[in-house]
Amino acid sequence: MNTNNVISFEGAVDLTGKEYLAVKMTATGIDLAASGDKVIGTILRGQIKREDNVYLGQPVAVQLKAGSVHYVKLGIVAGSLAKGAGLILDAANAGHLVASETNPIAQLVQAVTGAQTLGGVAEAVFI
């Protein structure tokens, strides 16, 4: 994976333990992207657990979407997905991607075989 386009942004919410999820930019920092949001990339490493529980403004590593392969987390997949399958943001699970050929925002770089539970990891490129 090319990580030359990884930068640190301020987190807008508690992103402890989050990784490979699609993110958006808000007025207060990085948050998980929901259906219809403008995706800027994927979170590589979430924030560390803080004793004071203050996460607003704390750094989070984001891989910007253009120009590289991303690890992404999938929503629930009922069956196999072919290499090149289109992906959109999952309306039920923020930051996750699900299969759709209608206005896809990403495509799989590898096939996904068999049904997947929430959070399965795949490789994709954003389009």
| Bridge partners, residue 77, by sequence | 116
Percent of the chain with pLDDT over 90: 61
> 52-106, pLDDT tens digit by residue?
766 677 888 899 988 789 999 999 988 899 999 999 999 999 999 999 999 999 9
Please, what is the average pLDDT of the chain?
89
Residue 112: DSSP 8-state: B
Mean pLDDT of 106-115: 92
pLDDT of residue 123: 95
Q: Does position 30 have pLDDT exceeding 60, yes or no?
A: yes
Question: 63 pairs with which residues across the strands?
Answer: 6, 42
> What confidence category does residue 3 fall into, taking pLDDT thresholds of 50, 70 and 90?
low
> Could you tell me which residue, 25 or 58, shows the higher pLDDT?
25
Residue 20 has pLDDT above 70, yes or no: yes
How much is the pLDDT for 122?
Answer: 94
Query: Does the pLDDT of residue 114 top 60, yes or no?
Result: yes
Strands of the chain, DSSP E: 6-10, 22-26, 29-32, 41-45, 59-64, 70-73, 86-89, 97-99, 106-108, 121-126
Picking from 112, 116, 114, 88, the residue whose alpha carbon sits closest to that of residue 100 is: 88
Distances 34 to 38, 58, 96, 112, 114 between C-alpha atoms, Å? 9, 21, 8, 23, 25
pTM of the model: 0.88
What is residue 13's predicted lDDT score, i.e. its pLDDT?
87
